[in-house]
């Protein structure tokens, strides 16, 4: 009986669902706890995006830098490898947007007393950050395939993060930038597919 | 599965080779990168410019071919744990099944734990890494293997014998091995493919012999089918009885050797 329970909780899908439920609970608790502190309503959203962007950049880099060669050695062909990577990346974005929607909904319910969403949250920033996430993930993927040295890659991560933070503080034409980064991420996605089909590992 | 390679160019070599089903073949070159490049093409990992086919299909990134073969470079780290349940779980992403009993038995035979530092993670010594790679390779129930650097980091004769016995055993239908120590594979391979010093790729059968001369012999005699020139000149043994009698009369120094003894006469590159 104990073994069956252990086996059940070891399944990846069970772990994933548990983490999602835990995250939803933590968002709820953070809203209740910080209700009185009058913090910036978007603070948690920036934290979520910041985390997934950084993780996505690093994950993508390591996926191609180290994992790709082992995957093809053990029987995964390049197309399947790229499809799986794309699915994972888009899934991360989808889950993030789900958490953010849930947070906005709860915020309206608990704190904002049903004020309009656009009065509290700058939606153009979330669109901008979503395109940044995709762009950086695909860029990390590209750097990994090109075997960029870690000594160059990690300082670059800090520079890019700093630039994104500064852009959020000082730039206002974010819809235009979102479209630009959206196009860049599509181009990077296509470029990555072409490179991974043809490059010698 | 007969693997056909036609007019594949690697560096200055033009390769034409057929690898038959149920063959155990070795690839030997004085330059390790040439062996690596060929094995990466043969395993379908890198492009072959329409020169490598199996059953008429190009093997590059070929899903069906990939599902029937495994490629290992024993220089690389594939595992960071000895916990079979974790390994089994991780291998599900690759649609691979682990024969846990076999894995555990090989780990015990090789005493992998003696080559592992177990703290909050498993750290294998270079020898331990080779051990664990072999254990994993032999436990994945794939019939066709391509292995580079199979004996890397090993020092003991018992380990060489164990590895060569496993890699050339009947558990694998076919094996293509990038040879790092040729003498350890004595009598265990069907053929060895040599990349000669003269830009030729030559396949030699297990029982064929080679002939070794002093390295200035070609100033006085025309030596055909040369393979290597270093400390000695090594060529294929296609000599006739008349040639041998002539050399004996003219007191030419030569020695007929097994192809597995070639490394003793190679000298520095």
pLDDT tens, residue by residue, B114-158: 888 877 778 899 999 999 999 999 999 999 999 999 999 999 999
Best probe of the A interface among B36, B64, B71, B79, by most A CBs < 10 A, is B71
| Residue labelled with tokens 């020092």 | B155
CA distance B46 to B61: 8
pLDDT at A196 over 90: yes
The model's pTM: 0.87
pLDDT band for A1, please (50, 70, 90 cuts). low
Residue of A nearest to B63 (CA): A77
How many beta carbons lie within 10 A of that of residue B67, not counting itself?
14
Examine the predicted complex and report whether its ipTM is higher than 0.90.
no
Q: Does A83 touch chain B (CB under 8 A)?
A: no
| Distances from the Cα of B184 to the Cα of A77, B205, B244, angstroms | 33, 16, 30
Give the pLDDT confidence of B46-92 residue by residue, as tens digits. 999 999 999 899 999 999 999 999 999 999 999 988 999 889 989 99
Contact between B185 and B260 (Cβ < 8 Å): yes
CA distance B66 to A72: 8
In what side-by-side order are the strands of the sheet with B254-258? B226-229, B232-236, B209-214, B254-258
Structure tokens at A97: 């947007």
Nearest-Cα distance to chain B for A79, in Å, is 8
pLDDT at A117: 64
CA angle A147, A153, A154 (to 5 degrees): 145
């Amino acid at each position: 009986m104990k073994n069956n329970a252990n086996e059940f909780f070891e399944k990846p899908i069970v772990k994933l669902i548990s983490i999602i439920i835990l995250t939803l609970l933590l968002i709820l608790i953070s809203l209740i706890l910080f209700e009185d502190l009058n913090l910036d309503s978007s603070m948690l959203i920036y934290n979520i995006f910041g985390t997934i962007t950084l993780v996505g950049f690093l994950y993508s880099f390591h996926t191609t830098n180290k994992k790709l060669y082992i995957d093809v050695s053990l029987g995964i062909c390049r197309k399947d490898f790229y499809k799986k990577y794309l699915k994972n990346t888009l899934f991360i974005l989808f889950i993030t947007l789900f958490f953010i929607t849930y947070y906005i909904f709860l915020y309206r319910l608990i704190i904002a007393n049903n004020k309009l969403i656009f009065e509290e949250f700058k939606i153009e920033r979330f669109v901008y950050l979503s395109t940044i996430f995709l762009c950086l993930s695909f860029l990390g993927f590209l750097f990994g395939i090109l075997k960029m040295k870690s000594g160059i890659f990690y300082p670059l991560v800090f520079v890019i993060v700093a630039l994104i933070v500064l852009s959020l503080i000082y730039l206002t034409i974010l819809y235009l930038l979102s479209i630009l980064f959206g196009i860049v991420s599509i181009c990077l996605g296509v470029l990555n597919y072409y490179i991974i089909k043809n490059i010698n590992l | 599965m007969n693997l056909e390679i036609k007019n594949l160019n690697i560096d200055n070599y033009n390769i034409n080779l057929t690898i038959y089903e149920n063959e155990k073949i070795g690839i030997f070159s004085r330059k390790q990168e040439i062996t690596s490049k060929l094995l990466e093409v043969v395993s379908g990992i890198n492009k072959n410019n329409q020169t490598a086919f199996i059953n008429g299909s190009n093997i590059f990134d070929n899903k069906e071919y990939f599902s029937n073969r495994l490629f290992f470079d024993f220089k690389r780290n594939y595992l960071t744990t000895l916990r079979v349940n974790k390994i089994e779980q991780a291998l599900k992403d690759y649609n691979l099944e682990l024969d846990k009993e076999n894995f555990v038995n090989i780990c015990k035979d090789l005493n992998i734990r003696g080559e592992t530092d177990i703290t909050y993670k498993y750290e294998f010594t270079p020898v331990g890494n080779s051990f664990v790679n072999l254990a994993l390779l032999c436990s994945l129930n794939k019939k066709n293997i391509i292995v580079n650097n199979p004996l890397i980091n090993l020092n003991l004769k018992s380990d060489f014998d164990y590895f060569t016995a496993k890699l050339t055993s009947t558990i694998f239908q076919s094996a293509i091995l990038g040879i790092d120590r040729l003498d350890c594979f004595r009598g265990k391979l069907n053929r060895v493919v040599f990349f000669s010093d003269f830009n030729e790729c030559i396949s030699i059968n297990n029982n064929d012999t080679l002939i070794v001369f002093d390295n200035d012999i070609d100033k006085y005699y025309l030596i055909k089918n040369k393979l290597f020139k270093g400390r000695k000149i090594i060529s294929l043994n296609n000599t006739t009885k008349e040639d041998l009698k002539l050399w004996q009369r003219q007191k030419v120094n030569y020695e007929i050797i097994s192809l597995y003894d070639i490394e003793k006469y190679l000298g520095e590159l």
